[in-house]
Amino acid sequence: MGVNTESDALPEARVIAVAGLGLIGGSLARRLAERGRRVIAWNHRPAPYEQARAAGIECVDDVTDLARAVPDVLVLCTPLKAMPDVLAKLAPVLDSRTVLTDVGSVKGQVRDEVKAAGLNDLYVGAHPMAGNEFSGYAASDPSLYDDALWAVTFDECTSYARLLVVIDMICEGVGDRIIAIDDDTHDQAAALISHMPHVVSTALANELTETPSRNIAQALAAGCWRDMTRVALTDPDRTRAMVEEDAANVAQLLHHMSDRLESMATLLESGDDEALAQVRDFFAVARPYREYKARERGGAAHESVTVRIGGDEASWRDQLLASAKRGEHIMHMTDRTHAIAEIRTALV
């Protein structure tokens, strides 16, 4: 069905092309095929094709074949370093009826690459908050997307009709939920909850690796160490690339984190009553987050609300961003201007 700016009906993403069958792209292709969408895929090496075809995925030999199939959505699941070459090949053959999107963890740089290829009018950014420390199609799993949140991103040129096609792919095709925000807001938030923590986790693993008593420390390590260093097990080249792609935001956060840790070290070294009171304050600041996580563990019901988005150019971006800030995750579009959302992440 694809993009139709003239119809009042909700657009659909029935045919989806996936460029790149690694962990994220392979899991996405399998999930969509499993849920009845037609999936066409390309990978820079054909090694996964036999398994992919067995999962109901159509595989093609060249990335341009994806565009020539005129899918409703073409999802870029390649590494960012490969993006300029892939976009250069797609640009001459990509039909305007196809929505271009991606799964990259950094949106600003992808947007720049898409603009350089002359494809920004077709593009809607996307980032699934799903993954693990493994890589490759062999590690792919449709359940990777179970109850996952996606960030869908826009700029001042983004088409609302195209955004609706991507929402259909995610909410109806994958069965997930979304928030819609601008690129800069996404990249700042992703640096806080993903990119910077990868650096901190790796720093902890480095600390253990370089201490003379590492074997004793590792023998004593339990759940706290396991949870705080899990992402340090990720392929270091993959982590390095991700961090470098969001370098300015990550650097700023690391400076903030360094200041927090240095302040704590100073308080602990002082040891007087005033310093100890400030230590208590340090651990109290995160109370709203702990209470939120306690409600989540307790199985608190999520409140469902109807969100008016509005399809006019003057309001829909602001309304979607305001919805995200209220902690609302869009689950389903009821028509072109209204959605059912659940309040999932409100910290009070």
Segment 271-314, tens digit of pLDDT: 899 999 999 999 999 999 999 999 989 988 889 999 999 767 77
Please tell me the distance from the alpha carbon of residue 191 to that of residue 295, in angstroms, as a whole number.
25
Q: Which range among 91-95, 188-192, 202-206, 296-300 shows the weakest confidence by mean pLDDT?
A: 296-300
**Stretch 93-116: mean pLDDT, rounded?**
97
Q: Is the pLDDT of residue 32 over 70?
A: yes
Please write the tens of the pLDDT for every residue from 111-169. 999 999 999 999 999 999 998 878 899 999 999 999 999 999 999 999 999 999 999 99
Give the model's pLDDT for residue 6: 55
Mean residue pLDDT of the chain comes to 95
**Cα separations (Å) of 234 from 237, 260, 271?**
9, 26, 38
pTM for this structure? Answer: 0.90
Angle at 134 between CA 114 and CA 58, to 5 degrees: 60
CA distance 96 to 114: 14
